[in-house]
Structure 1
Amino acid sequence: MIEKVLKAYGIECIDCEIKPFGNGLINQTWKVFAPDGQYILQKVNTNVFQSPVDIADNTLIIKKYLDRVAPQYLFVAPIITITGAGIIEEGDGFYRLFPFVANSFTVDTVTEAEQAYHAAKQFGKFTRILEAFNPQNLKVTIPDFHNLSLRAVQYSMALKNANKERLKTANWAIEKVKEYLWIAEKFKQLQVENSLKTRVIHHDTKINNVLLHIESGRGLSVIDLDTVMPGYFISDVGDMMRTYLSAANEEEISFEKIKVRSDVFLAIYKGYMEEMRRSLNLREQELFIYSGQFMIFMQTLRFLTDYLNNDVYYPVSHAEHNLLRAKNQITLLMEYTKSELEFKQIIENYETQLESLNGGLSMNV
């Protein structure tokens, strides 16, 4: 099957070596070692992305725009087939092929603040460089993906319909969620106020969706563009907060290990704002810390909703898997919220230093 797919790109794989690549949970990925170079081949998960052609169309329209306005920007777009398609349907699925970027690597966990800085800078740069591009020209690949209002409604329905046993087991999580419902109410109010500008947003800012330079460690580009669509900056910043700040990921069951790292918070702020400072309005800048609460709470609701719905969405390995994930995220939200004053001070100190530095440079000039 794979050989037939590669042939559509003009690659004869008599001497190819094909190996599974990465540890992504959504799409199936291989690294292809061909006589003429190295490639990344993906099979799109059509259970998640029900219209794979929309993904290809989005990527193609962005590539055409960037080729015109920012040809120097490293945009890792799928290779076009012999017939001019950005994605092909073969057998039981849809496939696309990417060039493998030489001298690049990815990491699965933020182990040092500098990694978070480079990732935040790359995600910020991606949105900034597309600032003049009309996001409404993009197709929505996952409807309501980061619609917290909808997630809150889905959670309420799950509460009403859940069986008594699961409701009882989840009681602690349910009671904790009540304390943070203000986050969903605030999001609803922000939409009423029209405080958030719609932009081209990545929507999946895990650290392994950034290519880093193998020698310097600096950021090269963002990858995994399936969820690129119209959205709000709080999705990208919030997902970085959710997945970078704690060394323990969402599968950790020893909740005492879930702590937020202030140096990583500063790195996210510094990297993202270096690119997006002039793009974000003052109200949006005030929401930088809220973005983490927004995403952590939304993921809490998604895990807890799935548990109450008898695990119909996320793969689980045991009966309380989703409940433990929800408790994990609640713990992260609690730690994050306890650090809110510290985060504000970190931002204030950084901005003061930056203003002092810029003032000094102006005088020197």
Structure 2
Amino acid sequence: MGSIPESESNGTNNAMIPIIDLAPFTSPSPSPSSSSPPSDASAGARLRAAQDLVRACREVGFVYIKNHGVPQDELDRAFAMSKQFYDLSTEEKMKAPHPPGWAVHRGYSWPGLEKVSGALSEKTDEKWVRKLREVQDYKESYEVGSEDNPDQPNVWPPPEVLPAWRPFMTSFYWTCFETAKHILRALAVGIGLEDENHLLAYHSGHYNQLRLLHYPPLPAEAVEAGMFARMPAHTDWSTMTMLFQDDCGGLQVESPTVAGEFIDVAPIPGTCVVNVGDLLMRWSNDYLKSTSHRVQLPPRQDRHTGDERLTRARYSIPYFVSTDPDTVIECLTRGEQAEYEPITQREYAAMRARMQY
């Protein structure tokens, strides 16, 4: 597999999380009517980028991607609109509430509603579940999906609350999927699949999830004392996650070299962070790595109010890319000893969602 140049490493992360340039996949390709086939140089660039991406997904499970294809002006507007929503009163935000229970994951989730963990629903002991939820996750979120997802109907604020919210977020959802397509193709090439659209064929785009996250300011001491959490360590349930973050910091990923040690995933302008989800790890038979990650207090970002240290507000936008729900996730490589029993995306998501809501 291709090597990752030293110059593309990020020193603030102990040079462990590489930066991959996706331009060979996101740059305009020759039009279908063109008589000129892709050059050997462009084919070689695509292969190198794909192999570097897969190497990062094998060794770390996390990677920065530049030239990802999401226009910066759209990203800027998404963050601005997210802040606009979270600046609303609780009464206004609650006009688009997350439905009761775990089955539908849409609309506004208020602080304390969701409890992120790596647990599966096999652990159903009521006492254990209560213990898990003793420390609240101090964050709020808003979930958006495809309007054509029959299982997860969107929950929208009334137009008079935020007139531009629904049309923009609907459009932005599909903008993110265009980038996801490029990454799925690159992964297929880097893994060595014969058809670069092999993974993409299982992703119609209607079963992804756009999440707008806000971590409100709170006393740093409350997190340090274990009274509240930002987001505990967990893996994602999806094929993969694309994450856009502001400049606050606080995201950490488990070290690829020291189990239980976490390293910072510092914000790098112009990049998105991509991580492997559980489904892709199962699909690849552990060839690719779904890595535990968490959100802690932001480094050197506390502000003071009198004698009290308050954390800065943090905004991030993850986009979870998932297969269509009845896709059977089983070992991609025929003849290889499978590490996992086959499971559908629907079954796996249910096991994880039951524990969070």
* TM-score (normalizing by structure 2): 0.24
The answer to which structure has the higher strand fraction is: 2
The answer to which structure has the higher helix fraction is: 1
**Greater length-normalized contact order (CA 8 Å, ≥ 6 residues apart):** 2
